[in-house]
Amino acid sequence: GQNIDQPTEMTATEGAIVQINCTYQTSGFNGLFWYQQHAGEAPTFLSYNVLDGLEEKGRFSSFLSRSKGYSYLLLKELQMKDSASYLCAVRDAGSGTYKYIFGTGTRLKVLA
Amino acid sequence: DTEVTQTPKHLVMGMTNKKSLKCEQHMGHRAMYWYKQKAKKPPELMFVYSYEKLSINESVPSRFSPECPNSSLLNLHLHALQPEDSALYLCASSQTVATNEKLFFGSGTQLSVL
């Protein structure tokens, strides 16, 4: 089956660094995506990994280990506007066609 | 133009009504998706269209009927919905189903079924 897990909630302070973890079990892994979603709004793309290692994009970095079924999103220099839900999504080809399957999501609160 | 446009933004309907949600993109994407999202939950895949043909139906009840009239448009026809169908309905698109790239999401339709 398919299983993508994230912590439900995290709290951090403005200016700090936070790491949001994602573990997955899928039958046909084909890439992992991170999205940010503010309440009532559409998810917006943050980062993408298909090979092992770290991808850096400004204040956001994402890491992938395919052998461990593990990824994390690292947010640096946290700002109040970073308070949102962060969704890990796996592109899976296990059923014979490609699907984007979303994890449980992590609600991040940034405190002043 | 990198937008996916969804209308209406909000919809309230009774259980006997028939309504439609609309989604449009002009990025030349040939894969389009419907997701359902309940409050504080992740988006759940409902349907995938590839080159205007339905390629995935995630066992969605028949009261939801998707339609892809052309490569830019995606509709979701609603009939005899239940209160538990109240949710945010998100449309998304990507280059093709086989291309490994991000999804572009619309801002969603917030649906309330009374």
Residue B35's pLDDT is what? 97
B105 touches chain A (CB under 8 A): yes
Q: Rounded to whole angstroms, how far apart are CA atoms B25 and B83?
A: 29
Average pLDDT over residues B66-78: 96
pLDDT, position B1: 65
A-chain residues near B56 (CB < 8 A): 97, 99
| Mean local confidence (pLDDT), B50-77 | 95
| Mean pLDDT of all residues belonging to chain A | 93
Decide if A42 and B56 are in contact by the 8 Å CB cutoff: no
B55 shares contact with chain A (CB less than 8 Å)? yes
Phi/psi-derived region of residue A3, left when phi > 0, alpha when psi is between -120 and 50, beta in every other case = beta
> Around Cβ B77, how many Cβ atoms within 10 Å?
13
Closest-approach residue (CA) in chain B for A95: B56
Q: What is the pLDDT of residue A32?
A: 95
- For strand A70-75 and strand A60-65, is the pairing parallel, antiparallel, or unpaired? antiparallel
Find, among B98, B88, B2, B3, the residue nearest to B46 by Cα: B88
Whether pLDDT at A1 is above 70? no
Q: Looking at the predicted structure, is the pLDDT value of residue B49 above 90?
A: yes
Considering only CA atoms, which of B67, B11, B70, B62 is closest in space to residue B34?
B67
Contact B42 A104 (CB under 8 A): yes
Inter-chain contact B102–A107, Cβ cutoff 8 Å? no
pLDDT at B70: 94
Say if residue B99's pLDDT is above 90: no
pLDDT for the residue B26: 92
